[in-house]
Amino acid sequence: MRVGIGFDVTQLIIEQVLNGVQLGMFLFLVAAGLTLVFGFMDVINLAHGSLFMIGAYGMALFAGLTGSFFLGLLLSLPVVALCALLIEYLIIRPLYHRDHLDQVLATFGLILFINEGTTMLFGRTPLFLNVPDILSGTVAITDSFSYPLYRIMIILMGIMVALILWFIIVRTRTGMRIRAGTTNREIVESLGVNIQALNTAIFVVGALFAGFAGAMAGPLSSVEVGMGENLLILCFVCIVIGGIGSIRGALVGALAVGIFDTMGRAFLPDLLKQFMDNATASGIAAGLSSMSIYLLMILVLVFRPTGLFPVAKAG
Amino acid sequence: MKTMKNIFMACAFAAFASPAIAGGDALKIGMITTLSGPAGYLGADVRDGFMLAMIEEGGKLGGVDVEILVEDDGLKPENGRAIAERFLERDEVEIITGVIFSNIAPVVAPLTLRAGKFYISPNSGPSIFAGKGCHKNYFVASWQNDTLHESAGINAQSLGYKNAFIMAPNYQAGKDALTGFKRFFEGEIVDEVFTQLGQTDYAAEIAKIRAAKPEMVFQFLPGGMGINFMKQYDQAGLSDEIPLVLAAPSADINILRAVGSAMVGTANSAHWNHDLDNEANKAFVAGFLAEYDRLPTIYASQGYDTARLIASALRATGGKVVDDMDGFREALRAADFDAVRGPFSFNNNHHPIQNWYSRVVVEENGEFRNKTIGTIVEGHADSYASECKM
């Protein structure tokens, strides 16, 4: 590590951990819906990232129209819910009992459709949002450094969503049915539970979390066509690490990916600089750190082929 | 999957393809540029600046009837190749221009030159064609890539910074940028960081900057990447603490508009600015505003200068290009036109020798602009020219 120009290692580590947790919470918001839909409905929904994008564009549109961040959030969520209802009814429902390849093809088509549609509506220029005044500014973590309030808000939102989901799934009758359905759909159905209504509800709730994450992403990064696809790949890594169908797994997986990715980007170059010159180290580290989470996934799968928190499957 | 996407793209663009101006036996110029995606405004401005020069002459360039074919490369080299082949074989264009990105130029330029036509760049100036790889029919009317960032390095040096944190995406132009910055900056490089191309979140890099406590940051993150970085840098509370010294692509007017007040006071450098005090520039800025109802970016100025460079050469040869290769080439080399950037001449490698100006971001009536505050270096040439045997 470099010394002599005041390199504060503790502070740097605290900040990078916060960055990792923030990225992890953000991934969790999207991964939670993905893992529920995959685990309970046994549907691979590649278009989950598109719902994230719809949330972001809804936010950009309504925040622009009303001039208020919170009104924008309030208005964009129903749009996401409506899109999710339509997608579930028109595309997903006929595919429940088909194999995964059909679902992948159909939802991939949906990605192309939604991307082109968004291009027609909003054009190809990315949109940018600002952090609302009350959420801008920083919070003092130690005497010498402070962290952006908005990123702390995202961490808190992630924790809140995790708590709500935990409560629903562990403490309510609906949650019990969801857990039962994830293990064996046929038995639950034959016991007289309206599985179709549950399917729709889970799909829409999952979409809402993704849309919410999209809306929150606007002020951090540009809102552009295709923004959901890169995120979706990361989220699949999260749920595969965590164990498909498990909310707890999605949370742990997302945090692991978030922290691993951030730490790789943060400290790998310095590590490599011990052995080689600056420019080469930066180049190699940039390549390695983008690989790091996939290496993590491989490592987890070698020892736990069904993920960290596997959900028991019957049949 | 890729094919499907391309078919979609093809459908989407069919409607806009090849808007032809004039016709008959007019001289054909092919413009291959980037019009879609986050960097689409770069190509759109080059095109609009170029068109403005034609509109001013009533559809002609240098008194010669010209037909201009415009196509979008979508920032994909394979598209650039396909368009170039069509332009050269089917449309029989005599000049190809418009290329924005340095990953398209190495595909399009050799095709054009091998076909015995002229290649005149309004933007991208990769080093491979500036030194040993220079060619008699290859001209760059904008800048050699490295000089953009050399100007930032000289600027940082003259502003008295003792050390710098430098950052760019992990691809060829990003590596050239850091090399260019370091060429004339004599201070210590605290750290150099490569980010992913197209990265959206810079929290980890920003934490490193905070911990490294450099005197200044230099970043080459063009388009949307730069906007994301600057916003997050401001959210992290660093924009008041550690100043940035930038090159023109990281501080164009669209970036200023999106980032807003956080960039006020930021030092940057360019070979052109809307407030440069010369007659050609005043007429250009006023004309652009009147025609398109927006301020021109640096890319628009380059498109305009490229068109007027071509016009000056066409006037000299009476419209002959391929029929009078030597005459047209000599006329281009003379660069006998008033560039909106001020003094302009070609070096032996057909890259510009020009001034670099220092600019600072200011707020005027709620709008964010760059204000020229001085000249960083006069008559600056790139460092590859000596390797070119012409």
Interface of A with B in 20-79 (CB under 8 A): 22-23
Question: Rounded to a whole number, what is the distance in Å from the CA of A261 to chain B's nearest CA?
Answer: 9
Asked whether the beta carbons of residue A125 and residue B213 sit closer than 8 angstroms, the reply is no
Q: What is the pLDDT along chain B (390 residues), one digit of tens a residue?
A: 444 444 444 444 444 444 444 445 789 999 999 887 767 788 999 999 999 999 999 999 999 999 999 999 988 899 999 999 999 999 999 999 999 988 899 999 999 999 999 999 999 999 899 999 999 999 999 999 999 999 999 999 999 999 999 999 887 788 889 999 999 999 999 988 888 877 888 988 998 898 889 999 999 998 778 888 998 998 888 988 999 999 999 998 888 988 888 899 999 999 999 999 999 999 999 999 999 998 899 999 999 999 999 999 999 999 999 999 999 999 999 999 999 999 999 999 999 999 999 999 999 888 899 999 999 999 999 999 999 998
Helices (H), A125-194: 149-171, 173-183, 185-190
The pLDDT tens digits for A30-53 are: 999 899 888 888 888 899 999 999
Q: What percent of chain A has pLDDT over 70?
A: 96
Fold match between domain B2-143+277-346 and domain B147-270+356-387: yes
Residue A198 has pLDDT above 90, yes or no: no
Give the span between the Cα atoms of A75 and A77, in whole angstroms.
6
CATH of B147-270+356-387, one of 2.160.10.10, 3.40.50.2300, 3.40.190.10, 3.40.50.300: 3.40.50.2300
The pLDDT tens digits for A246-292 are: 888 999 999 999 998 888 888 888 888 888 877 777 778 877 877 88
Name every chain A residue with its beta carbon within 8 A of the beta carbon of B170: 283, 286-287
Name every chain B residue with its beta carbon within 8 A of the beta carbon of A221: 200-201, 228, 232
Residue from B192, B235, B261 whose CB has the most chain A CBs within 10 Å, to mutate:
B235
Give the span between the Cα atoms of B302 and B32, in whole angstroms.
15
Specify whether the CB–CB gap between B49 and B302 falls below 8 A. Answer: yes
The pLDDT tens digits for A113-135 are: 998 899 889 876 778 888 888 88
Residue A139 lies in a domain: yes
Q: Please determine, looking at this structure, whether the domain spanning B2-143+277-346 carries the CATH number 2.60.120.40.
A: no
CA angle in degrees (0–180, nearest 5) for B94-B95-B96: 130
What is the separation of C-alpha A209 from the centre of its chain, rounded to a whole number of angstroms?
8
Residue A276 lies in a domain: no
Question: Rounded to a whole number, what is the distance in Å from the CA of A300 to chain B's nearest CA?
Answer: 24
Q: Give the chain B residue nearest A19 (alpha carbons).
A: B203
Question: Rounded to a whole number, what is the distance in Å from the CA of B88 to chain A's nearest CA?
Answer: 29
Question: Based on the structure, what is the number of domains in chain A?
Answer: 1
Is any Cβ of chain B less than 8 angstroms from the Cβ of A81? no
Q: Which two tokens stand for residue B49?
A: 């600046």
Residue from B191, B229, B253, B294 whose CB has the most chain A CBs within 10 Å, to mutate:
B191
Residue A168 lies in a domain: yes
Is any Cβ of chain B less than 8 angstroms from the Cβ of A233? no
Q: Which two tokens stand for residue A209?
A: 């979390």
Specify whether the CB–CB gap between B57 and B63 falls below 8 A. Answer: yes
| A63-to-A57, A219, B232, B368 alpha-carbon distances in Å | 10, 11, 19, 22
Domain ranges of chain B: 2-143+277-346, 147-270+356-387
Is any Cβ of chain B less than 8 angstroms from the Cβ of A281? no
Name every chain A residue with its beta carbon within 8 A of the beta carbon of B204: 16, 19, 262, 265-266
Q: Give the chain B residue nearest A136 (alpha carbons).
A: B235
Name every chain A residue with its beta carbon within 8 A of the beta carbon of B8: 112, 116
Is any Cβ of chain B less than 8 angstroms from the Cβ of A305? no
Question: Rounded to a whole number, what is the distance in Å from the CA of B237 to chain A's nearest CA?
Answer: 7
Give the span between the Cα atoms of A28 and A159, in whole angstroms.
10
Query: Over chain A, what is the mean pLDDT?
Result: 86
Asked whether the beta carbons of residue B203 and residue A262 sit closer than 8 angstroms, the reply is yes
Interface of A with B in 87-126 (CB under 8 A): 108, 112, 116, 119, 124-126
Structural domain boundaries, residue A202: 12-225
Give the span between the Cα atoms of A69 and A51, in whole angstroms.
19
Specify whether the CB–CB gap between B228 and B235 falls below 8 A. Answer: no
Name every chain B residue with its beta carbon within 8 A of the beta carbon of A7: 211-213
The strand pairing partners of B360, in sequence order, are: B267, B371
Helix, strand and coil in chain B, % to nearest 5: 45, 20, 35
Tokens 């005459």, located at residue: B327
Residue A177 lies in a domain: yes
Residue A123 lies in a domain: yes
Asked whether the beta carbons of residue A265 and residue B205 sit closer than 8 angstroms, the reply is yes
Q: Give the chain B residue nearest A16 (alpha carbons).
A: B204
Asked whether the beta carbons of residue B203 and residue A6 sit closer than 8 angstroms, the reply is no
Q: What is the pLDDT of residue B23?
A: 46
Is any Cβ of chain B less than 8 angstroms from the Cβ of A146? yes
Residue A171, classified by CB atoms within 10 Å of its CB into exposed (0-12), middle (13-18) or buried (19+), is exposed
- Across the A:B interface, residue pairs with CB atoms under 8 Å apart total 116
Question: Rounded to a whole number, what is the distance in Å from the CA of A265 to chain B's nearest CA?
Answer: 7
Name every chain B residue with its beta carbon within 8 A of the beta carbon of A150: 235
Residue from A1, A111, A124 whose CB has the most chain B CBs within 10 Å, to mutate:
A124
Prediction ipTM score: 0.78
* Phi, psi of B251, deg, nearest 5: -145, 40
For residue A148, name the pLDDT band (cuts at 50, 70, 90). confident
* Phi, psi of B257, deg, nearest 5: -65, -45
Q: Give the chain B residue nearest A132 (alpha carbons).
A: B235
For residue A146, name the pLDDT band (cuts at 50, 70, 90). confident
Q: Give the chain A residue nearest B7 (alpha carbons).
A: A112
Is the overall model pTM greater than 0.90, yes or no?
no
Residue A235 lies in a domain: no
Is any Cβ of chain B less than 8 angstroms from the Cβ of A265? yes
Specify whether the CB–CB gap between B376 and B358 falls below 8 A. Answer: yes
Residue A212 lies in a domain: yes
Specify whether the CB–CB gap between B48 and B71 falls below 8 A. Answer: no
Q: What is the pLDDT of residue B96?
A: 97
Residue A282 lies in a domain: no
Q: Residues of A22-40 as b/e, b for ≥16 C-beta within 10 angstroms?
A: bbbbbbbbbbbbbbbbbbb
Question: How many CB atoms sit inside 10 A of residue B325's CB?
Answer: 17
Asked whether the beta carbons of residue B237 and residue A146 sit closer than 8 angstroms, the reply is yes
Is any Cβ of chain A less than 8 angstroms from the Cβ of B207? yes
Asked whether the beta carbons of residue B210 and residue A15 sit closer than 8 angstroms, the reply is yes
